[in-house]
Structure 1
Amino acid sequence: MSYSEVSLARLTAFLAWSTQAGSPDAVKKALSVMKTKLGEHGFDYYDWNENQSVNKDIGAKVSDELVKSDLVILEGSKQRPNLAYEAGYAHALHLPLVVVKQYDSERLPENFGEPDYLSYPADVGDELGFKDFESRFADWLGKLAATTLSPGQRSARHGRNSLNEQINKFIDGYPEEHASLHLLGGWAGALAHELDSGGASQLVVDADYYLPSFSSLRGWDGGEVRAIADLTDETEQFWTPDHPEEMTANVSERVFLIDWSWFFEEESKLARQINLWKQHQARHRDRPYEIFIAAKEELRPGEVHPMGPGAVGHHLLLLDPDLIGGYRPNPGRIDGRQLVIERNALRFASATQFYDSIKARAVRFEPSMKAADLRRAWVARNDIGHWDEDWTSETEFRSPDYFDDYERHIRCWIPNYAQMIRDCAATVFREILRIYADSMRSVGVLEIGYGTGRLTSEIVPWIRNINRPFYDLEHHGPVRQYRGVDRAEQMVQFARERLMPEQQTGLDMRLVRGTAWEDVDGRYDVVFGSLVMHFLIGPDPTDETLDEFFGNCAEHTTEDGTLIFADVFGVNGDRKGSSSMEKWREWMARYGLSDDKVEGYMAGNTDMTSAAPVSLLRKAAEAHGFKTRVKVVGAPTLPFRIVVFQKDRPGRD
Structure 2
Amino acid sequence: MTRLAAFLAWSTQAGSPDAVEKALSVMKSKLNEQGFDYYDWNENQSVNKDIGAKVSDELLKSDLVILEGSKQRPNLAYEVGFAHALHLPLVVVKQAGSERLPENFGEPDYLSYPSDVTDDAGFETFETRFADWLRKLTLTTLSPGQRSARQGRNALTEQINKFIDGYPEEHASLHLLGGWAGALARELDSGGASQLVVDADYYLPSFSSLREWNGGTIRAIADLTDETEQFWTPDHPEEMTANVSERVFLIDWSWFFENEDRLARQIELWKRHQARHREGPYEIFIAAKEELRVGEVHPLGPTAVGHHLLLLEPDLIGGYRPNPGRVDGRQLVIERNSLRYAGATQFYDSIKARAVRFDPAMKVVDLRRAWVARNGIGRWDEDWTSETEFRSPDYFDSYERHIRCWIPRYAQLIRDCAATVFREILRIYADKMRAVDVLEIGYGTGRLTSEIVPWIRNINRPFYDLEHHGPVRLYRGVDRAEQMTRYARELLKPEQQTGLDMRLVRGTAWEDVDGRYDVVFGSLVMHFLVGPDPTDERLDEFFANCNEHTTEDGTLVFADVFGVNGDRKGASAMEKWREWMIRYGLAEKEVDGYMAGNTDMTSAAPVSLLRKAAEAHGFRTRVKVVGAPTLPFRIVVFEKERAN
CA contact (8 A) 1:575 1:611 kept: no
Counting only pairs closer than 5 Å after superposition, residues 301-450 of structure 1 correspond to structure 2 as 301-450=294-443
Structure 1 partner of 2:614: 621
Letter of the structure 2 residue corresponding to residue 568 of structure 1: V
- 1:184 pairs with 2:177: yes
- Pairing partner for 2:592 from 580, 599, 602: 599
CA contact (8 A) 1:415 1:634 kept: yes
Letter of the structure 2 residue corresponding to residue 352 of structure 1: T
Counterpart-to-counterpart distance in 2, 1:15 and 1:489: 81
Counterpart-to-counterpart distance in 2, 1:556 and 1:193: 69
CA contact (8 A) 1:576 1:610 kept: no
Structure 2 partner of 1:555: 548
Cα deviations by residue, 1:34-65 (Å, 9 ceiling, x for unpaired) = 00000000001001111111111111111111
In structure 1, runs of 5+ residues without a counterpart are: 1-7
> How many aligned positions are there?
644
Letter of the structure 2 residue corresponding to residue 375 of structure 1: R
Structure 1 partner of 2:96: 103
Counting only pairs closer than 5 Å after superposition, residues 629-640 of structure 1 correspond to structure 2 as 629-640=622-633
Counterpart-to-counterpart distance in 1, 2:568 and 2:430: 38
- 1:218 pairs with 2:211: yes
Structure 2 partner of 1:10: 3
Structure 2 partner of 1:4: none
Structure 1 partner of 2:128: 135
Structure 1 partner of 2:27: 34
The offset of 1:574, in angstroms, is 3.9
Structure 2 partner of 1:473: 466
Structure 1 partner of 2:453: 460
Cα deviations by residue, 1:388-436 (Å, 9 ceiling, x for unpaired) = 0000111111111100100000000000100000000000000000111
Counterpart-to-counterpart distance in 2, 1:121 and 1:429: 98
Structure 2 partner of 1:578: 571
Cα deviations by residue, 1:345-386 (Å, 9 ceiling, x for unpaired) = 111111111111111111111111111111111111111000
Counterpart-to-counterpart distance in 1, 2:437 and 2:135: 83
The offset of 1:576, in angstroms, is 9.6
Structure 2 partner of 1:258: 251
In structure 2, runs of 5+ residues without a counterpart are: none
Counterpart-to-counterpart distance in 2, 1:139 and 1:278: 45
Counterpart-to-counterpart distance in 1, 2:100 and 2:401: 77
CA contact (8 A) 1:627 1:646 kept: yes
Counterpart-to-counterpart distance in 1, 2:417 and 2:237: 45
Structure 2 partner of 1:123: 116
- 1:489 pairs with 2:467: no
Cα deviations by residue, 1:120-159 (Å, 9 ceiling, x for unpaired) = 1111111100000000000101111110000000000000
- 1:505 pairs with 2:519: no
- 1:588 pairs with 2:584: no
Cα deviations by residue, 1:253-274 (Å, 9 ceiling, x for unpaired) = 1111111111001101101111
CA contact (8 A) 1:265 1:418 kept: yes
CA contact (8 A) 1:389 1:604 kept: yes
Letter of the structure 2 residue corresponding to residue 343 of structure 1: R
- Pairing partner for 2:222 from 211, 229, 234: 229
- Pairing partner for 2:41 from 12, 25, 48: 48
Letter of the structure 1 residue corresponding to residue 214 of structure 2: D
Structure 1 partner of 2:162: 169
Structure 2 partner of 1:151: 144
Task: Pick closer, same or farther for the CA change 1:497–1:644 going to 2, 3 Å.
Answer: same
Cα deviations by residue, 1:521-555 (Å, 9 ceiling, x for unpaired) = 11110000000011111111111111111111111
Using the TM superposition, name which of 402-411 and 567-576 deviates more.
Answer: 567-576
The offset of 1:184, in angstroms, is 1.0
SS of residue paired to 2:255: helix
SS of residue paired to 2:427: helix
Counterpart-to-counterpart distance in 1, 2:168 and 2:211: 39
The offset of 1:241, in angstroms, is 1.1
CA contact (8 A) 1:562 1:644 kept: yes
Counterpart-to-counterpart distance in 1, 2:634 and 2:333: 52
Counterpart-to-counterpart distance in 1, 2:435 and 2:101: 97
Letter of the structure 2 residue corresponding to residue 167 of structure 1: I
Counterpart-to-counterpart distance in 2, 1:243 and 1:569: 48
TM-score w.r.t. length of structure 2: 0.99
Cα deviations by residue, 1:98-124 (Å, 9 ceiling, x for unpaired) = 111111222111111111111111111
Using the TM superposition, name which of 335-344 and 457-466 deviates more.
Answer: 335-344
Structure 2 partner of 1:3: none
- 1:112 pairs with 2:105: yes
- 1:86 pairs with 2:79: yes
- 1:64 pairs with 2:65: no
The offset of 1:577, in angstroms, is 2.7
The offset of 1:572, in angstroms, is 4.9
Counterpart-to-counterpart distance in 2, 1:614 and 1:403: 29
Counterpart-to-counterpart distance in 2, 1:60 and 1:503: 72
RMSD: 1.0
Counterpart-to-counterpart distance in 1, 2:493 and 2:84: 65
Percent identity between the aligned chains?
Answer: 87
The offset of 1:649, in angstroms, is 2.1
SS of residue paired to 1:309: helix
CA contact (8 A) 1:575 1:610 kept: no
Counterpart-to-counterpart distance in 2, 1:118 and 1:457: 78
Structure 2 partner of 1:295: 288
